[in-house]
Amino acid sequence: MTEMILDSLTLDFPIYGTGKQALKKELVRLATGGYFTSKDQKIITVRAIDQLSLHIPNGMRLGLLGHNGAGKSTLLRIISGIYEPTGGSLSIKGHVTPLLDMMLGFDGGSTGYEVITIQGLLQGLSKKTIAGKVDNIADFTGLGDYLSMPIQTYSDGMRMRLAFGIAACCTPEILVLDEVFGVGDASFLKRAKARMREMIHSSNIVVFTSHNLDLIEEICTHVLWLEAGSARFFGETAEGLKQYLKSFESP
């Protein structure tokens, strides 16, 4: 059974060479949303995730709420294995498919077809499985003969089409997204949105962040409201959004 268990999960980032000057502390605080500890005069530590404990069972669609720097993207990167927690534990049953920086590792000298193979291997697919998906990916991207050309000749929009087409060929067990994004022209965007919804609904667990609260209300069963790396609310979507929106009201 797919599930994730976070037990006092903590992530500290050491900030070297800043000393203890109040201005530098404030600048980092505004950029990260975390809070500070200091073991000596030279190293300041930003606590990005602070002893977070929760159970994400099979079937949960979890939306992350919070201001920029609250810890949402950091948490997604811990779940995806990009960051190693410095405290507590994270237990994951199931394969995680992160859609974060989808163009990470793209080599400008490789053709579109070569990128499909390389990215498929990085996702843990066999060459045989990748070969069976190439035609569908090519059709989805609509890039045609450009797939035989080096991606350094692509526009940014074409690169994003290719990246999304590769990512969208998977059927994830645990889907992790940082924003549900728009890519390409209107025609491609319509297909991309439809495919994204298919992936969300077919995944066993979904964890994502979006500033689109209507989308969170539509998709999510639960929300986690983060503030300075700690959980301010974890529970059902309707109540979470109610409390979150209330926090913006004037006192």
Which CATH number characterizes residue 217's domain? 3.40.50.300
Same domain, 148 and 220: no
Same domain, 44 and 128: no
Residue 251 lies in a domain: no
Same domain, 233 and 188: no
Task: Count how many domains the chain has.
Answer: 2
Same domain, 86 and 13: yes
Same domain, 171 and 242: no
pTM above 0.75, yes or no: yes
Whose tokens are 């035989």? That residue is 148
Same domain, 53 and 110: no
Same domain, 104 and 179: yes
**Which residues of the chain fall below pLDDT 70?**
16-43, 105, 180-185, 250-251
Per-residue model confidence (pLDDT) at position 180: 59
Same domain, 233 and 173: no
Same domain, 90 and 213: yes
Q: Closest by alpha carbon to 123, among 59, 72, 200, 175?
A: 175
Same domain, 226 and 192: no
Same domain, 214 and 228: yes
Instruction: Quote the Cα angle for 82-97-34, to 5°.
Output: 40
Whole-angstrom distance, CA of residue 234 vs CA of residue 129: 38
48 burial via Cβ count (<10 Å: 0-12, 13-18, 19+): buried
Contacts 24+ apart (CB under 8 A), 133-137: 133/169, 136/169, 137/165, 137/166, 137/169
Token pair for residue 213?
A: 């609260």
Whose tokens are 């929300």? That residue is 223
Residue 218 lies in a domain: yes
Which residue segment(s) compose the domain that 87 sits in? 3-94+209-246
Residue 151 lies in a domain: yes
Token pair for residue 17?
A: 């060479």
Same domain, 89 and 141: no
